[in-house]
Amino acid sequence: MKVLKLGGTSVGSAERIQNLRRIIPTTEPIVVVLSAMAGVTNNLVESINLAAMGNTKLAKDKLKEVELMHITTCENLYTTSNFKMKGKELIKKIFEVSYTKLERFDDSTGREILAMGETLSTNLFHLYLQEQRVEAALIPALSFMRIDKDGEPDYFYIAENLNRLLDSCTGINVIITQGFICRNSKGEVDNLKRGGSDYSAAIIGHAINASEVQIWTDIDGFHNNDPRYIEGTLPIRELSFDEAAELAYFGAKILHPSTIHPCQEKNIPVILRNTLNPNDAGTTITAAHQDGGIKAVAAKDGITAIRIKSLRMLMAHGFLKKVFDIFDEYKTPVDLITTSEVAVTLTIDDTRNLELILKSLRSFSSVEIEQEQTIICVVGDFLAQNPGMASRVFDSLRDIPISLISYGGSSHNITLLVNGAKKIDALRALQQVVNNPQTVSTVNDGNTSI
């Protein structure tokens, strides 16, 4: 059984929803995981924020815009008056409940409203398939997708409930469900955070031992650099799980960073495809590692560097534990770290508890921070038997100030920290290396490296 996740742009209009009929196979068992229509989640978040500030009327007005968007989609999606009416009645019912929730707003009702986007897209698509006389079943994600108290997928619960529901759909090839939304350990409506529909598809694939997980978006797979800033980038046809995880975590927007692990654990191939260009092969991600020099570059913005200095580090043990206990206390992940005898520099991208973290660190050390930094991740074959590969990266960046380097923790990436204002310059400089991954370069001291 295959799992196909289709993102917001794939269901972004009536025409694109209709196009899915030509993309999804109907003669083999599949699970179709849908996101909300493009732009809907942002509008729902805005409505929720207005309600949280007490602006109920403005919150309802914003929600009305989302309702009208779906009514327009409904009018253009279906060809018969009967299904147009069914779609509009469904939309009206969902929004009537949501308007009432805005009047008694709290965090839990906010999460319920946020779940509307996926509920709407899946129901409208299910109705469309019915109109097209394609047999399909709609399984609500809230009936099987659950996270534990730490926000991690409850794999046993998910597999047990999802497989039971699938067993009840025997003989139906097309199963539709929602991405992103779930229930938490208290049974409340919750979500897997932004971009979580990819993660939903991977978790589902893990639960049912899928033959493959396809992620359909609006670009031809992973590119070897960021096409928003660099011209002439090319799709990468094959990546290993580890390489894809590095690129996703360090800034490649095409894939949610958490998607890889569930599939890697069950050795399930992940295939990235483009709904706007369905004939393109995209990128296939498997356990296989393909040699190929320097393969790709990704950038992650909004990084804060924290430099911690203390003479207590010198010839002492336990200092790093003390530092990391603070980040653990405030549930703040660390991206990169470098150390010297008397200093530690690390980076974070979640600054919600930054002031509390700094206060704790300053109780036993001096601390400096730099904000608006960018992590640059270079993925390639940085093995000991490939001498000169790292020097080519640094040679290309000779004019870019680098404030942190992480190298050696992995054989397939070098990670650097630069000022955010230098990001595009760094990406452009590195593209010359990516375009010629195996060529010889001459470094400043006159030595030659490969």
pLDDT grade for 63, boundaries at 50, 70 and 90: very high
pLDDT grade for 385, boundaries at 50, 70 and 90: low
Whole-number pLDDT of residue 447: 35
Question: What's the rounded Cα separation, in Å, for the pair 278 and 20?
Answer: 10
pLDDT grade for 292, boundaries at 50, 70 and 90: low
Segment 313-333 mean pLDDT = 85
Please choose, from the candidates 261, 275, 176, the residue with its C-alpha nearest in 3D space to the C-alpha of residue 218.
Answer: 275
- Phi and psi at residue 417, in whole multiples of 5°? -120, 125
Quickly name the fold that domain 295-449 has: VC0802-like (3.30.2130)
Across the chain, what does the average pLDDT equal?
90
Picking from 89-93, 171-175, 393-397, 440-444, which range would have the lowest pLDDT averaged per residue? 440-444
Whole-number pLDDT of residue 445: 37
Rounded CA Rg of the chain: 24
**Which helix (DSSP H) or strand (DSSP E) does residue 190 occupy?**
strand 189-191
Segment 66-92 mean pLDDT = 97
CA distances from 203 to 79, 112, 239 (A): 35, 21, 20
Whole-number pLDDT of residue 136: 97
Whole-number pLDDT of residue 326: 96
CATH superfamily for domain 2-217: Acetylglutamate kinase-like (3.40.1160.10)
How buried is 261 (Cβ within 10 angstroms: 0-12 exposed, 13-18 middle, 19+ buried)? middle
pLDDT grade for 263, boundaries at 50, 70 and 90: very high
pLDDT grade for 163, boundaries at 50, 70 and 90: very high
Decide if pLDDT at 293 tops 60: yes
Picking from 32-46, 123-137, 277-291, 349-363, which range would have the lowest pLDDT averaged per residue? 277-291
Give me 445's structure tokens: 């001291």
pLDDT grade for 449, boundaries at 50, 70 and 90: very low
Decide if pLDDT at 410 tops 90: no
Choose between 405 and 311: higher pLDDT.
Answer: 405
Decide if pLDDT at 392 tops 80: yes
**Which helix (DSSP H) or strand (DSSP E) does residue 202 occupy?**
helix 196-208
pLDDT grade for 256, boundaries at 50, 70 and 90: confident
Whole-number pLDDT of residue 440: 36
Segment 249-262 mean pLDDT = 86
For 75, the 3-state DSSP assignment is helix
Contacts of 315 (CB under 8 A, 6+ apart): none
Question: What's the rounded Cα separation, in Å, for the pair 370 and 107?
Answer: 33
Each residue's pLDDT tens digit, 216-243: 998 889 999 998 899 889 999 999 999 9
Whole-number pLDDT of residue 319: 83
Each residue's pLDDT tens digit, 113-153: 999 999 999 999 999 999 999 999 999 999 999 999 989 99
Question: Alpha-carbon dihedral of residues 414, 419, 420, 425, nearest 10 degrees?
Answer: -70
Each residue's pLDDT tens digit, 264-285: 999 999 999 999 999 999 999 9
CA distances from 438 to 232, 291, 341, 389, 449 (A): 18, 11, 37, 9, 10
Listed in sequence order, the DSSP H helices in 374-422 are: 389-396
Please choose, from the candidates 386, 211, 373, the residue with its C-alpha nearest in 3D space to the C-alpha of residue 295.
Answer: 386
Domain with CATH 3.30.2130.10 in the chain: 295-449
Whole-number pLDDT of residue 386: 62
Picking from 84-88, 108-112, 253-257, 360-364, which range would have the lowest pLDDT averaged per residue? 253-257
Whole-number pLDDT of residue 128: 97
Decide if pLDDT at 441 tops 90: no
- Phi and psi at residue 163, in whole multiples of 5°? -65, -35
Question: What's the rounded Cα separation, in Å, for the pair 191 and 396?
Answer: 42
Listed in sequence order, the DSSP H helices in 104-154 are: 107-114, 116-131
- Within 10 angstroms of residue 29's Cβ, the number of other Cβ atoms is 18
Give me 327's structure tokens: 């980040």
Q: What is the 3-state secondary structure (H, E, C) of 235-249?
A: ECCEEEHHHHHHHHH
Domain with CATH 3.40.1160.10 in the chain: 2-217
Whole-number pLDDT of residue 19: 94
Strand order in the sheet with 30-34: 136-138, 174-178, 30-34, 2-6, 212-217, 270-274, 283-286, 238-240
CA distances from 27 to 111, 125, 172, 174 (A): 36, 18, 9, 9
Whole-number pLDDT of residue 38: 93
Q: Are 275 and 389 in contact (CB under 8 A)?
A: no
What's the whole-model pTM score? 0.89
Q: Are 380 and 412 in contact (CB under 8 A)?
A: yes
Q: Are 309 and 343 in contact (CB under 8 A)?
A: yes
Question: Alpha-carbon dihedral of residues 141, 142, 145, 151, nearest 10 degrees?
Answer: 130
